[in-house]
Amino acid sequence: MLNINQQQVTLSHTSHGSLYGKGIYLVTLNNGKIEVSITNLGCTITAIHTPDREGALANIVAGYRHPGQYRQNDYYFGCVVGRYANRIAGGKFAIGHEQYQLSVNNGTNHLHGGVEGFHTKVWAITSFIRREKESGVMFEYLSPDGEEGYPGNMRVKVKYLLDSDNRLHITYHAVADKQTPVNLTNHSYFNLTGFDTPVITGHLLQLDAVQYTEKNAENVPTGNILSVAGTPLDFSKPARIGDGIDQFPADRGYDHNFILTHAGSKVIPAAILSDAGTGRILRVYTDKPAIQVYTANWWDGTIRGQQGQMYGQHGAVALETQSFPDSPNHSRFPNTLLSPGQAYDSWTTFEFAV
């Protein structure tokens, strides 16, 4: 175990065996109040321990008990999702006259990067960051030309940085040698009670969104942009997640893509999640144009999580900052094509408070 003591934020890492001949590590960032654990398997946040208003620490994200379990992370706990998060209709898109067929892994559609998306890869740890009042780790993955059907070699770097103000900054950087769609997110699921309460229906959610992308029965955008006003999707003011969660029987809860009004703002959060019982508050900031809210609708109580409890339906909520789903097939959606010579750069910050 390597232990690097920072002025305020410490960083340590431990080895957890290997997969495909590559070492699996758990990196821990600790600022004296909050501890974030990350494994290079899937570039995954495995735990975030934060204090409640009494100072009691709990892990507020869904995760497995051992890093090795992330090799079969079917619910995408905490991982980086890519190359393209969310769905691409039929797994098909065209760039110019060239047609592409991606792997299909969700009905007839491509979901979250395909059968072996970025969440299944053993990422390289390329550096540790040690600065005054912040510590972090940089991961890198080289996605080969044709992987899951995507064009071009793509080099992707993800940085996790914890600062002394209880903010976890995630930055994404990618370059490719052919035009390719890119949409990277982190798929952490939050339960601010640390799963002491097994459902998040009592949490309050506020979103910086007055519109959402309408979707069809297969969860693929129709192309229409609709207003949330007067619907159970109106989180423009804080609303109890449980109040509207039964209004979407086909989805079994919330699974919707909200368009952010102030994307890029470091002042106006994209999302604020809070739990009155523990006092914990999560604020999410991002430069991405949208956020997918998914309330763990298909969790079936068969996984015993890191906290010791079985994870059941509505056990947590994922707040996935991202571009609009299926953008490669909607010319009116914000561009998601990365061209050679350009860089994909994006950031999301999780801020923890009580």
What are 4's two structure tokens? 């690097």
Tally Cβ neighbours within 10 Å of residue 199: 20
Nearest to 188 by CA among 319, 27, 300: 319
Nearest approach in angstroms of CB 299 to ligand BGC is 9
Residues in 295-324 that interact with ligand BGC by CB under 6 A:
318, 320
Q: Give the tokens for residue 211.
A: 């519109």
Nearer to ligand BGC, 13 or 314 (CB): 314
CB nearer ligand BGC, residue 75 or residue 93: 75
Considering the complex, state which of residue 67 and residue 253 has its C-beta at the smaller distance from ligand BGC: 253
Residue nearest to ligand BGC (CB): 294
Which single residue is written with the structure tokens 């209709």? 89
CB 88 within 8 A of CB 326: yes
Quick check: 89 and 213 in contact, CB under 8 A?
no
Q: Give the tokens for residue 337.
A: 């094509």
List the one residue from 143, 188, 274, 292 that touches ligand BGC (CB under 6 A): 292
Q: Using CB under 6 A, pick the residue from 25, 64, 70, 75 that binds ligand BGC.
A: 75
Give min distance, CB of 308 to ligand BGC, in A: 22
Contact code string over 196-235 relative to ligand BGC, x by CB under 6 A: -----------------------x----------------
The answer to whether 211 and 258 have CB atoms below 8 angstroms apart is: yes
Instruction: Count CB atoms within 10 A of the CB of residue 99.
Output: 9
- Minimum CB distance to ligand BGC smaller for 84 or for 294: 294
Please confirm, yes or no, whether 110 is among the known catalytic residues. Answer: no
Q: Among 187, 203, 256, 314, which one carries the catalytic annotation?
A: 187
Degrees (nearest 5) of the Cα angle 242, 244, 354? 40
Asked if 346 contacts 322 with a C-beta cutoff of 8 angstroms, the reply is no
Using the rule CB under 6 A, which residue among 141, 294, 324, 344 binds ligand BGC? 294
Binding mask 80-109 for ligand BGC (x = CB under 6 A): ------------------------------
Q: Which residue, 37 or 295, has its beta carbon nearer to ligand BGC?
A: 295
* 50 vs 292 by CB, closer to ligand BGC: 292
Q: Which of 311, 281, 286, 285 is nearest to 299 (CA)?
A: 311
What is each CA distance from 30 to 3, 58, 195, in whole angstroms? 11, 14, 21
255 interacts with ligand BGC by CB under 6 A: yes
**Binding ligand BGC by CB under 6 A: which of 25, 64, 70, 76?**
76
Q: Residue 181, Cα to own-chain centre: how many angstroms? A: 18
Residues 319-338 within binding reach of ligand BGC (CB under 6 A): 320
State in angstroms the smallest separation of the CB of 106 from ligand BGC.
Answer: 7
Is the CB of residue 51 less than 8 Å from the CB of residue 79? no
Q: Could you tell me if 62 and 47 are in contact, meaning their C-beta atoms sit under 8 angstroms apart? A: no
Active site residue 187: yes
Report the catalytic residues. Answer: 187, 320
Binding site for ligand BGC (CB under 6 A): 75-76, 219, 255, 292, 294, 318, 320
